[in-house]
Amino acid sequence: MAGNREFFNRRLHSLLGVIPVGLFLVQHLVVNHFATGGEESFNNAAHFMESLPFRIFLETFVIYLPLLFHAIYGLYIAFTAKNNTSRFGFFRNWMFMLQRVTGVITLVFVAWHVWETRVAAAFGAEVNFQMMENILSNPFMFWFYIIGVISAIFHFANGLWSFLVSWGITVSPRSQVISTYVTIGIFIALSIVGVRALTAFI
Amino acid sequence: MQETKTKTVRFIISRQDTPDSAPYQDEFELEYRPNMNVISALMEIRRNPVNVKGEKTTPISWDMNCLEEVCGACSMVINGKPRQSCTALVDQLEQPIRLEPMRTFPVVRDLQVDRSRMFDSLKKVKAWIPIDGTYDLGPGPRMPERKRQWAYELSKCMTCGVCLEACPNVNSKSDFIGPAPLSQVRLFNAHPTGEMNKAERLEQIMGDGGLANCGNSQNCVQSCPKGIPLTTSIAALNRDTTFQSFKNFFGSDQI
Number of other residues whose CB lies within 10 A of the CB of residue A31: 15
Please give the tally of structural domains in chain A: 1
User: What mean pLDDT comes out for the span B198-222?
Assistant: 95
CA-based nearest residue in chain A for residue B233: A171
Closest CA to B159 of B228, B212, B217, B106: B228
Counting residues of chain B whose pLDDT is more than 70, the rounded percentage is: 96
Asked whether residue A1 carries a pLDDT value surpassing 50, the answer given is no
- pLDDT tens digit sequence for A26-68: 999 999 999 999 999 999 999 999 899 999 999 999 999 999 9
Would you call A168 and B240 a contact, using CB atoms and an 8 Å cutoff? yes
Question: Model confidence at B255, in pLDDT bands (50, 70, 90)?
Answer: low
Asked whether residue B59 carries a pLDDT value surpassing 70, the answer given is yes
Question: Which pLDDT value is given to residue B64?
Answer: 97
CATH node for B116-250: 1.10.1060.10
Asked whether residue A165 carries a pLDDT value surpassing 90, the answer given is yes
Question: Which pLDDT value is given to residue A3?
Answer: 55
Question: Do the Cβ atoms of A184 and A157 come closer than 8 Å?
Answer: yes
Q: Which residue ranges does chain B devote to CATH 1.10.1060.10?
A: 116-250
For residue A42, what are the domain limits?
2-200
Would you call A162 and B240 a contact, using CB atoms and an 8 Å cutoff? no
Q: Which residue ranges does chain B devote to CATH 3.10.20.30?
A: 8-113
How many Å apart are CA B116 and CA B106, to the nearest integer?
9
Helices A91-114/A65-80 angle, 10° precision: 140
Give B91's DSSP letter: G
Question: Do the Cβ atoms of B193 and B136 come closer than 8 Å?
Answer: no
- pLDDT tens digit sequence for B166-199: 999 999 999 999 999 999 999 999 999 999 999 9
- pLDDT tens digit sequence for A93-112: 999 999 999 999 999 999 99
Would you call A3 and B203 a contact, using CB atoms and an 8 Å cutoff? yes
Q: Is B206 exposed, middle or buried (0-12, 13-18, 19+ CB in 10 A)?
A: buried
How many Å apart are CA B190 and CA B185, to the nearest integer?
8
Angle at alpha carbon of residue B227, lines to B226 and B228, rounded to 5°: 90
Report the CATH number that the domain containing residue A142 is assigned in CATH.
1.20.1300.10
Question: Do the Cβ atoms of A79 and A97 come closer than 8 Å?
Answer: no
Asked whether residue A2 carries a pLDDT value surpassing 50, the answer given is no
Could you tell me which CATH class the domain B8-113 is placed in? Answer: alpha beta
- pLDDT tens digit sequence for B4-46: 668 999 999 999 999 999 999 999 999 999 999 999 999 999 9
**Does A28 show up as a binding residue in the annotation?**
yes
CA-based nearest residue in chain B for residue A87: B80
Question: Model confidence at B131, in pLDDT bands (50, 70, 90)?
Answer: confident
